[in-house]
Amino acid sequence: MRLISAILTQVCVSASSLFIKIEYTRTVYCYEITLSFSMNRTAYNAIAKQWHAARKTFFGRERAYLDTFLAELPAASLILDAGCGTGRPMAAYAIKRGWSVIGIDQSENMLAIAKANYPKERWVLGKLEKYPFEAPCGGIICWDALFHIERNFHEAILGRMANCLLANGALMLTVGGSEHPPFTDYMLGQEFFYDSFPPHKILNVLTDLGFHMLISEFMNPPTTGRDKGRYAIVAKKR
C-alpha cells in the first residue's frame, strides 16, 4: 500500500479570490479560485423574485440613456443584453419597441423569469468573463453587470463587445464611480462582490476601441461612506 503525502503550504484570501498552494513530493500545485462568480450567482439566485418586483421601473435617467442608445442602433439589428437579469427593465423596454434581444446572465433563477415573461427571445446562461460575443449585433447593454466582475477582466470583455458590434453600433453600460479596491456589500439581505476601474480609465479604453461617447455622467457620485459611485455611458462605435 502506497501512502500519498501532500502539504498545504499557503492559503491567501482576498475580496475576489482564494489562492491555495499545495506541495506534493517535488511538485508545487497552485490554484486560484475566483469568488465573485459563485458569490454573485448565489446571491442573485436567492433574490431573483424580489429583484424582478423591485425593477418594475427605471431609476433616475435610465430611460433617457436607453432612448439615446436605441436611437443609434442600425435598423433591424440585434441587441445583446450582457447581465440581463430578469429582463426588466432594459430588455423589456427594447422588446416592447420591436427589437430582438439575446440576454446573458449567470443566474439560473433570473433567466427563468426572463424566459417565462419573454419566451420569444433567447436567454443564455453564462459568465461574461468567458462569453465569446460572436453573434453580430447592433447594440450591447451591460447595465449594472461589469462591476460585479474583477477589473482585470474588464478590458478583454469590452474588446470582445466592440468586435461583435456592427458598424455604427452602440454600447450602453455602467461602471463603478471611484478608484476603490474590490469590496463586498449587501443588497436584499445577500452579499455581492464589486470591482471596477474608475470612469476615466473605462472612457480611455472605449476611446481606444473606437467608440465616441454620447453620454458619460455620474448617476450617483461616490461618497465618503458606503456609496462608491455609479457612472453611466452610452457610446457609439465609429
- The C-alpha torsion from 137 through 208 and 193 to 174, rounded to 10°, is -60
Is a pLDDT exceeding 50 seen at residue 16?
Answer: no
Closest CA to 47 of 112, 124, 109: 109
Is a pLDDT exceeding 80 seen at residue 26?
Answer: no
Looking at residues 78-97, what average pLDDT do you find?
98
Per-residue pLDDT, 20? 45
Beta-bridge partner residues of 3: none
> How would DSSP label each residue in 38-105?
HHHHHHHHHHHHHHHHHTSS--TTHHHHHHHHHHTSPTT-EEEEET-TTSTTHHHHHHHTT-EEEEEE
| Burial grade of 132 (CB within 10 A; 0-12, 13-18, 19 or more) | exposed
Per-residue pLDDT, 37? 59
CA 73/CA 93 separation, integer angstroms? 15
Is a pLDDT exceeding 70 seen at residue 33?
Answer: no
Residue bearing cell 498552494: 21
**Cell (9 digits) for 163:** 468586435
Is a pLDDT exceeding 50 seen at residue 85?
Answer: yes
Domains and CATH numbers, the chain: 36-237 (3.40.50.150)
Per-residue model confidence as pLDDT tens digits over 168-199 = 999 999 999 999 999 999 999 999 999 999 99
The CA-to-CA distance between both ends of the chain, in Å, stands at 67
Per-residue pLDDT, 36? 59
Under DSSP, is residue 153 helix (H, G, I), strand (E, B) or coil?
A: helix
Looking at residues 25-30, what average pLDDT do you find?
46
Per-residue model confidence as pLDDT tens digits over 102-119 = 999 999 999 999 999 999
Binned at pLDDT 50, 70 and 90, residue 228 comes out as very high
Per-residue pLDDT, 8? 52
What stretch of H or E contains 227? none
Binned at pLDDT 50, 70 and 90, residue 224 comes out as confident
Per-residue pLDDT, 1? 41
Per-residue pLDDT, 38? 86
CA 87/CA 138 separation, integer angstroms? 18
Per-residue pLDDT, 27? 47
**Cell (9 digits) for 226:** 458606503
Per-residue pLDDT, 72? 96
**Cell (9 digits) for 188:** 436584499
Is a pLDDT exceeding 80 seen at residue 15?
Answer: no
